[in-house]
Structure 1
Amino acid sequence: MKKLSLLLLLFSQFVFSQSVEEHAVEILKFQAELNREYRDVRETPLRGVNFKNFKEHPFFAVDFNYRIAAKFKRIENALPFEISTSSGHTKPYVEFGEATFAVDGKNFMLKIYQSVHLVQKPEYKNHLFLPFHDATNGKETYGGGRYLDLEIPSGDTVVLDFNKAYQPYCAYNAYDYSCPIVPTENTLPVAVKAGVRYEDVYFIH
């Protein structure tokens, strides 16, 4: 019995370490792809000297405490509504669901949205959008908040990996892009020190 218990313990530790390693690789791939995108003149939002000087994004250290399995509640029969954008226009979205979770022992809820326009494209049929504010905004991250890209979950749990949180294009180029403004209800009163950080060079003084 002791040998069996030891084997089970070793197996669970192996599975856990394997899972952590896989998640770490996934996050590093996200970072590498984001850097590649911003270096590619065909895809980058950067212009002029900002593009010329760009080498890579600054990131918070990977922290698996910010990879959260949140309780997901689908909002049935939600009607489209308009989210204001940075250019003064609006874009149509649907409130697709709610994610409930805890950070540092405190419970929070964030709304998850689906773009009315993007969902019409086959490659985005399962795409969901989670914009959020947190206490790092305007200090270590963009003042307008950050975004998370998600996939429609198959059950009542959705993984929110804030290590993949990124700034909207408008954080780097306010003139060429119209980015959704984070709804007030998606504000976290805690500092989410994960994902992409922001450099002073892009701040508009």
Structure 2
Amino acid sequence: MKRCLIVLCMVYAASGAFSQNTYADSLTAERQKHEKEFLSTVLNEEERKIHPEICFFPINTAFIVEADFVKEVGPAFVMPMTKERTVYYRKMGTLSFKINDTLCTLNVYQNLDLAGRKEYKNYYFVPFKDGTTAISTYGAGKYLDCYFSKKAKKVKLDFNTSYHPYCAYSDRYSCPIVPKENTIPVSIAAGECYVQHD
């Protein structure tokens, strides 16, 4: 019996390692695809000279967390942008989770221009600032895309997929400014990082 248990433990351990490797390989491939498309379609030639690549933190599954979602639909409002542009959002609720035993809360928003499109039915926007902001990530913060049902009580957040706005690389774009209340008291060294260029 003990021998069977040891074998089973070894199988589970191997399967967990395989799962993590599969996740890392998959995300690495997605990052490479994103970087190629971003550099070729979003940035122009001059901007590519300044930003020849995208910086990413090492993949860290500790930054995949399960958050409690509390639905709290607010009125439509104009999200502040880096350049004059009118885009309506509404707050959909809050996400609460722990990073290293520190409780964090982030508001979840819905872009009302996208809300009526079928492909964005379960899409929500989570902009945030954290302890890495203006140090190893863009000074204006980062974004996280979430997909979940409005009836959800638990939501998986994968900060390894968090990314910078286009404005981190080019002043030609107008991007949402992270609301003050979406600043969390921890450092999330995951997703895109930022290298300051002259």
**Same fold, judged at TM 0.5 (above):** yes
Residues 149 and 29 (structure 1), Cα distance of their counterparts in 2 relative to 1, 3 Å cut: farther
Q: In structure 2, what is the Cα distance between the partners aligned to 1:22 and 1:168?
A: 27
CA-CA distance at 1:129 after TM superposition: 0.8
2:102–2:186 contact (8 Å) kept in structure 1 = no
1:152-163 equivalences in 2 (<5 Å): 152-153=148-149, 155-163=152-160
1:56 aligns with 2:53: yes
2:67–2:155 contact (8 Å) kept in structure 1 = yes
Letter in 2 for 1:201: H
Q: In structure 2, what is the Cα distance between the partners aligned to 1:83 and 1:55?
A: 30
CA-CA distance at 1:200 after TM superposition: 1.3
The counterpart of 2:196, out of the listed 187, 196, 200, is 200
SS of the equivalent of 1:110 reads strand
The counterpart of 1:184, out of the listed 171, 180, 183, is 180
1:73 aligns with 2:70: yes
The counterpart of 1:165, out of the listed 162, 182, 185, is 162
Q: CA RMSD in A?
A: 2.0
SS of the equivalent of 1:130 reads strand
1:96-111 equivalences in 2 (<5 Å): 96-111=92-107
Paired residues in the alignment total: 197
Q: Deviations over 1:41-70 (max 9, x none)?
A: xx31x2342224644211111111111122
CA-CA distance at 1:179 after TM superposition: 0.7
1:1-205 equivalences in 2 (<5 Å): 1-40=1-40, 43-44=41-42, 46-52=43-49, 54-75=51-72, 77-153=73-149, 155-174=152-171, 176-201=172-197
2:51–2:169 contact (8 Å) kept in structure 1 = no
CA-CA distance at 1:182 after TM superposition: 0.4
Q: In structure 2, what is the Cα distance between the partners aligned to 1:39 and 1:181?
A: 23
Deviates more, 1:112-121 or 1:48-57: 48-57
Q: In structure 1, what is the Cα distance between the partners aligned to 2:90 and 2:50?
A: 38
- Percentage of identical aligned residues: 32
Q: In structure 2, what is the Cα distance between the partners aligned to 1:72 and 1:50?
A: 39
Q: In structure 2, what is the Cα distance between the partners aligned to 1:128 and 1:30?
A: 20
SS of the equivalent of 1:16 reads helix
Q: TM-score, normalised by structure 2?
A: 0.88
Q: TM-score, normalised by structure 1?
A: 0.86
Give structure 1 stretches of 5+ with no counterpart. none
Residues 48 and 36 (structure 1), Cα distance of their counterparts in 2 relative to 1, 3 Å cut: closer
CA-CA distance at 1:117 after TM superposition: 0.6
2:129–2:178 contact (8 Å) kept in structure 1 = yes
Give structure 2 stretches of 5+ with no counterpart. none
Q: In structure 2, what is the Cα distance between the partners aligned to 1:26 and 1:158?
A: 21
Q: In structure 2, what is the Cα distance between the partners aligned to 1:88 and 1:164?
A: 28
Q: In structure 1, what is the Cα distance between the partners aligned to 2:19 and 2:124?
A: 24
CA-CA distance at 1:25 after TM superposition: 2.4
